[in-house]
Structure 1
Amino acid sequence: MFNELCKPTEITIKDKKKVVTGKVVRAAIFARSKVIDVMTADNERFYFIYYKNSLIYGEKLETVETGSFIYNAFNEGICIESPHPLLTALLPKLSLSIPNKNKIFAHLQNDYSLREMAYIATTLDSFFEKNQLEQVIEKVFSHYRRSGEFYKSFQIARLLSDFSPGLKSAADRLDSLEFNSYHSLYSPPHLPLLHKKDPLFVEIHCFKNRSIPDERVFLEDILTKQDRLLVLLLWLENAKNLQNLNSIKEITDIALQFITVEEWILLLGQININPFRELPEAKSIIEKMLQKGNYQNAALLLLNFIDDLPQSYDEILRVVWENSDSAFVTAHLDHFIKLLGQLPGGKHPVQAEQRISQLAVSLLKEHDLKTVQEKLLPIQALLPNSTVIRKINEMVELVEDPDRMMELGDLYSEFKQFDKAIDCFFWEMELQPQDPSPVRKISKMYQNKGLLSEAATYQKIYTQLKSNQETG
Structure 2
Amino acid sequence: MQNLTITAKDKKHSHQLEPKSMAIYQQCRIIEATNELDQTCYIFFYKDHYLNYVTEKKTTKTHSYVVDSFKKGITLPPSHPLFMTVVSSHPNIKKQNFSDLFKKLQKQYTLQETALIASYFESFIKKAQLANFIQSLFYKERRDGKLLSCYRILRIMKDFAPKRSLVDAFSRDMDFTKYEDLYKQGDASLLDKDPIYMENKLYANQHNNQDFQALCKFYQAQDRLEDVIAVHITHVIYTQETSDYDALKFLIEEHLGGENMLPVLEDLYRRGLTIMSLQQDLLAAYMAHERLEDVLTLISKHELHLQPAQSKQLTRVVKQRGITTDSIPNEGLQELIRTLFAAKDNQATEILHQAIASLLNDHNLSYIQEWAQPFRAITLAEPTLQKIDEMNRIAEDPNQQRKLGELYHEFHHPKLAIECMSFDMELREDDPKPVQWLAKLYHELGMNAEYKAYQQLYVDMVKRG
Shorter-chain-normalised TM-score: which range?
0.7 to 0.9
Q: Note if 1:317 corresponds to 2:332.
A: no
Deviation at 1:110, TM superposition (A): 2.6
CA distance in 2, matches of 1:365, 1:21: 45
CA distance in 2, matches of 1:419, 1:171: 89
2:53 is aligned, of 51, 58, 64, to 58
TM normalised by structure 2 equals 0.76
Deviation at 1:83, TM superposition (A): 3.5
CA distance in 2, matches of 1:418, 1:152: 86
Deviation at 1:67, TM superposition (A): 1.0
- What CA deviation, in whole Å up to 9, does each residue of 1:328-348 have, x standing for no partner? 55574465356325423xx62
Q: Contact 1:8 / 1:83 at 8 angstroms: preserved in 2? A: no
Other structure's SS at 1:224 match:
helix
Deviation at 1:372, TM superposition (A): 4.3
CA distance in 2, matches of 1:272, 1:143: 52
CA distance in 2, matches of 1:240, 1:396: 51
The aligned runs of 1:401-416 (5 Å cut-off) are 415=411
Judged with a 3 Å threshold, the aligned counterparts in structure 2 of structure 1 residues 273 and 265 are, in CA distance, closer, same or farther, namely farther
Q: Note if 1:124 corresponds to 2:121.
A: yes
Give 2:213's aligned residue. 217
Q: Note if 1:261 corresponds to 2:255.
A: no
Judged with a 3 Å threshold, the aligned counterparts in structure 2 of structure 1 residues 333 and 460 are, in CA distance, closer, same or farther, namely closer
Other structure's SS at 1:385 match:
helix
Judged with a 3 Å threshold, the aligned counterparts in structure 2 of structure 1 residues 75 and 131 are, in CA distance, closer, same or farther, namely same
1:98 is aligned, of 90, 94, 98, to 94
Deviation at 1:253, TM superposition (A): 3.3
CA distance in 1, matches of 2:90, 2:168: 42
2:7 is aligned, of 5, 8, 13, to 13
Q: Aligned-pair RMSD on alpha carbons?
A: 4.5
Deviation at 1:316, TM superposition (A): 2.7
CA distance in 1, matches of 2:206, 2:237: 14
After superposing the two structures, state which structure 1 stretch, 326-335 or 168-177, moved more.
326-335
The percentage of counterpart residues that share the same residue type is 21
CA distance in 2, matches of 1:316, 1:53: 41
Q: Contact 2:240 / 2:275 at 8 angstroms: preserved in 1? A: no
Q: Note if 1:113 corresponds to 2:75.
A: no
Give 1:343's aligned residue. 343
Q: Contact 1:295 / 1:320 at 8 angstroms: preserved in 2? A: no
Other structure's SS at 1:166 match:
coil
- What CA deviation, in whole Å up to 9, does each residue of 1:294-328 have, x standing for no partner? 5614995797478566x8x3133223234333355
Judged with a 3 Å threshold, the aligned counterparts in structure 2 of structure 1 residues 151 and 369 are, in CA distance, closer, same or farther, namely farther
CA distance in 1, matches of 2:396, 2:444: 28
2:386 is aligned, of 377, 387, 390, to 390
Deviation at 1:75, TM superposition (A): 0.8
Q: Contact 2:296 / 2:336 at 8 angstroms: preserved in 1? A: no
Other structure's SS at 1:49 match:
strand
Q: Note if 1:135 corresponds to 2:132.
A: yes
Judged with a 3 Å threshold, the aligned counterparts in structure 2 of structure 1 residues 414 and 252 are, in CA distance, closer, same or farther, namely same
Other structure's SS at 2:5 match:
strand
Give 2:63's aligned residue. 67
Give 1:48's aligned residue. 43
Judged with a 3 Å threshold, the aligned counterparts in structure 2 of structure 1 residues 300 and 169 are, in CA distance, closer, same or farther, namely same
Give 1:296's aligned residue. 290
Q: Contact 1:426 / 1:442 at 8 angstroms: preserved in 2? A: no
1:360 is aligned, of 356, 368, 377, to 356
Other structure's SS at 2:50 match:
strand
Judged with a 3 Å threshold, the aligned counterparts in structure 2 of structure 1 residues 394 and 19 are, in CA distance, closer, same or farther, namely farther
Other structure's SS at 2:32 match:
strand
Which residues of structure 2 form unaligned runs of 5+?
Answer: none
CA distance in 2, matches of 1:412, 1:185: 87
Q: Note if 1:86 corresponds to 2:88.
A: no
CA distance in 1, matches of 2:243, 2:73: 26
Judged with a 3 Å threshold, the aligned counterparts in structure 2 of structure 1 residues 87 and 363 are, in CA distance, closer, same or farther, namely farther
Deviation at 1:420, TM superposition (A): 7.3
Give 1:4's aligned residue. none
TM normalised by structure 1 equals 0.75
Deviation at 1:231, TM superposition (A): 1.8
Q: Contact 2:43 / 2:54 at 8 angstroms: preserved in 1? A: yes
Other structure's SS at 1:58 match:
strand
Judged with a 3 Å threshold, the aligned counterparts in structure 2 of structure 1 residues 308 and 384 are, in CA distance, closer, same or farther, namely closer
Other structure's SS at 2:216 match:
helix
Deviation at 1:444, TM superposition (A): 6.5
Give 2:193's aligned residue. 197
Other structure's SS at 1:140 match:
helix
Judged with a 3 Å threshold, the aligned counterparts in structure 2 of structure 1 residues 18 and 176 are, in CA distance, closer, same or farther, namely same
Deviation at 1:246, TM superposition (A): 4.0
| Amino acid of the structure 1 residue aligned with 2:131 | E
Deviation at 1:90, TM superposition (A): 3.8
CA distance in 1, matches of 2:359, 2:256: 36
Deviation at 1:79, TM superposition (A): 1.8
1:184 is aligned, of 181, 188, 192, to 181
Deviation at 1:21, TM superposition (A): 4.7
Give 2:145's aligned residue. 148
Other structure's SS at 1:29 match:
strand
| Amino acid of the structure 2 residue aligned with 1:176 | D
Judged with a 3 Å threshold, the aligned counterparts in structure 2 of structure 1 residues 133 and 403 are, in CA distance, closer, same or farther, namely farther
| Amino acid of the structure 2 residue aligned with 1:33 | C
Q: Contact 2:22 / 2:76 at 8 angstroms: preserved in 1? A: yes
- What CA deviation, in whole Å up to 9, does each residue of 1:253-282 have, x standing for no partner? 321133332543664572334448998xx9
| Amino acid of the structure 2 residue aligned with 1:66 | T
CA distance in 2, matches of 1:52, 1:190: 25
Which residues of structure 1 form unaligned runs of 5+?
Answer: 1-6
Other structure's SS at 1:28 match:
strand
After superposing the two structures, state which structure 1 stretch, 205-214 or 300-309, moved more.
300-309
